[in-house]
Structure 1
């Protein structure tokens, strides 16, 4: 490996010489966190991994701290704080529903995350007239959370439709397939977690409803980046996660039409979901209680509601404009580096959100990501992003690198990434790297762990910190 040259140093410090003029849109917790580099210095962490989990808004953290002293049981408690928490929980439900433009008769279920929401929905799709499972149509470009719940394999209830080379051709393919048999549901992403692209929802809804099918939107990557309305779009169900919506406190939501939710199989069997239980029969509640057995995540719901309120209060177009500046800056910067290619699903897609995936020709994505972290304090994601069929379709079956932005991202982080990649391809990394248990790690890494209780066990081996999953 080449040693660091003076020219290399100039490249990687460009952000310090000319700081970015594009500030964050909202304050997030941890924006000033310093991380150690392999050269013994520290750097403000450049978080470009919002698509995986976004940091908490400072307003969300403050709201949780405000409510924590009031925490108590909900729904069945006579105590004063139980009454307060019940009111907070139900008010949060209303806020979350309002954030996604719920219709008057829609219902909002508080879940753990998008995956939980879509699994819930998969369990309540009505059977066909002949008693067979209700058919679901999905595209092969979906996140696994919107593929696996519907039932894949020989006995699957889902038809997985290959995406076409253009948006227009994919919509035609969708319409053609819906004409072949009765479908109960079409499940699509509101924005790809790999490229930020999406099919136009108005067209998907029009095509699906004309064929008698409902539409569910995996909005995990949509609602943190763009306004969305069930009433305005006529989408039937929407699922999203708090941890991607600046409220990482363990709550998500499924919001949509009441009839399936009132009559479908309860998502969990347990207390709170029932009206009466005897040894020979059970009477279940209607939604939302029907699907919220056990003690609900009050703090998670309150946190998600606060994030929804903060995002909804932004001036019209401010969020999209902020991300468009960052995304354009990133894509243009990457396009100027020989050997780096930004991947796209469709050449005719428009208005992608702030998620950009790219490849570096001849270089392992895991090595590039490890280099960016160890030598520049940049956090990106590498792998297949829980979208294995899509990565194969895009010609990157071994994985790629993803950079994603959000309300807490400043232009400096984008500039730092572009400069660091330029330096990597120009002069190579300074440290030596090797693969340990499937993860690229720094050889003889001397970076200290942050002083946080619970990290002591990791001090013995840095390899444990990279995690066991290949995605």
Structure 2
């Protein structure tokens, strides 16, 4: 992996050949966890020892089980950002040494991310504000019909629902079936029935954590003449993704799901559609030249090609650097260890929830066998908000409640008022899972005793 700037520069370096951009924070390969009785966290996250008050009068360590909303920063990522602050300056247009350093840091972050997702050498890597912004950019650059599933997060649904320039609808929604195989068959039938420009689909559900076979989805899209966009917001922190290996045309994700909560995201993919589209934002940095005619009313604008075309204004340098640092940190831990860690925690959580009367886990597909660290569930006799408040006030546990920006999915699963979601990651240990299961057992026992 290419290193990202972490340690302060000590000697000047020309912009064209910047000094090494990182003194890596030590992150040795971890030994696989084999003791299922005690599963420690896999990496250090900021806020791991944060304590919160409970209604019982106790102060307890906060059990963060809301990673799917925003994962805490990895300590290595926070340190990289801190080390970058002393050399922060303008990018792309400054002649000063720190401007050159900052520009090198920003551009090098693109290459680290490109390597992390195994993108093609000529793919554009465009920095955005997050997954939602990235998909809106993709929608801005896409011409033609777009096929989506009804299980999508709103970020991969609403941007496609905007009418085309002629006022016609261009989104075609396919209902997910009871099995993944039948769902893929329904998508193939839809794409074969009428031409579409793009298939846009989530890689992992933000409600249930179920993982879709993105390689098979890409094959379906391509043999029917469409490209594919993968919303990997809930996948890239948990699984190795290869744009080349999986056949992905466009990939989007957010830093704040990737242990880099510093306000940035990324769109990676084929450059032709992006270069053909009008700039996503008009402003400095996107324009190569601007001039007025003799009357002062005719404006001649030449726009840049490449990522700059859609990155007008001063970019979020630290957010980009943070994403790249998170990519490096995850590679250092190793996805084989991340997968084993989450599998042990997920099995522990599923087994625990199964022992509690009145708790039902949500599932989309009957045949799904792979999930990331997400569990959506319902507790009989309690609204999702009541459950979330009880867990927070009585046990110091943070979970998410509601409809998770996936209203059509919650409606079709039979939970129009929402559900509860627990999600975990590198900073989670078995103690956090056990505390959640114990608190839910207490809640349901008290309800039955009334």
TM-score normalized with structure 1 length: 0.84
Deviation (angstroms), 1:143: 0.1
Structure 2 counterpart of 1:277: 290
Distance (whole Å) between structure 1 residues aligned to residue 243 and residue 431 of structure 2: 36
Matched, 1:376 2:386: no
Distance (whole Å) between structure 2 residues aligned to residue 281 and residue 340 of structure 1: 63
Matched, 1:123 2:140: yes
Deviation (angstroms), 1:362: 1.9
Structure 2 counterpart of 1:249: 262
For residues 385-409 of structure 1, the C-alpha deviation after alignment (integer angstroms, 9 at most, x for no partner) is 0000000111111100000011111
For residues 228-270 of structure 1, the C-alpha deviation after alignment (integer angstroms, 9 at most, x for no partner) is 0101111100000000100001111000111111211211110
Matches within 5 A, 1:283-298: 283-298=302-317
Structure 2 counterpart of 1:56: 73
Distance (whole Å) between structure 2 residues aligned to residue 91 and residue 289 of structure 1: 15
* Equivalent position SS for 1:179: helix
Matches within 5 A, 1:30-429: 30-126=47-143, 134-151=144-161, 155-279=168-292, 280-428=299-447
Deviation (angstroms), 1:314: 2.2
For residues 433-467 of structure 1, the C-alpha deviation after alignment (integer angstroms, 9 at most, x for no partner) is xxxxxxxxxxxxxxxxxxxxxxxxxxxxxxxxxxx
**RMSD across aligned C-alpha pairs, in angstroms?**
1.5
* Equivalent position SS for 2:348: helix
Contact 1:20–1:410 at 8 Å: present in 2 too? no
Distance (whole Å) between structure 2 residues aligned to residue 149 and residue 208 of structure 1: 20
* Equivalent position SS for 2:66: coil
TM-score normalized with structure 2 length: 0.88
Distance (whole Å) between structure 1 residues aligned to residue 338 and residue 415 of structure 2: 30
Distance (whole Å) between structure 1 residues aligned to residue 338 and residue 227 of structure 2: 29
Q: For structure 1, which runs of at least 5 residues remain unmatched after alignment? A: 1-18, 127-133, 430-471
Q: For structure 2, which runs of at least 5 residues remain unmatched after alignment? A: 1-35, 293-298
Contact 1:26–1:407 at 8 Å: present in 2 too? yes
Q: Which runs of 4+ in 1 moved over 6 A?
A: none
* Equivalent position SS for 1:243: helix
196-205 vs 115-124, greater mean Cα deviation: 196-205
Contact 1:237–1:254 at 8 Å: present in 2 too? yes
Distance (whole Å) between structure 2 residues aligned to residue 243 and residue 108 of structure 1: 17
Distance (whole Å) between structure 1 residues aligned to residue 201 and residue 340 of structure 2: 25
Aligned length: 405
* Equivalent position SS for 2:86: helix
Structure 1 counterpart of 2:296: none
Deviation (angstroms), 1:165: 1.1
Distance (whole Å) between structure 2 residues aligned to residue 213 and residue 314 of structure 1: 36
Distance (whole Å) between structure 2 residues aligned to residue 203 and residue 248 of structure 1: 31
Contact 2:208–2:363 at 8 Å: present in 1 too? yes
Contact 1:185–1:215 at 8 Å: present in 2 too? yes
Distance (whole Å) between structure 1 residues aligned to residue 115 and residue 319 of structure 2: 17
For residues 63-111 of structure 1, the C-alpha deviation after alignment (integer angstroms, 9 at most, x for no partner) is 0110000000000001110000000000011111111111111110011
Distance (whole Å) between structure 2 residues aligned to residue 281 and residue 158 of structure 1: 34
For residues 397-441 of structure 1, the C-alpha deviation after alignment (integer angstroms, 9 at most, x for no partner) is 110000001111111110000000000111259xxxxxxxxxxxx
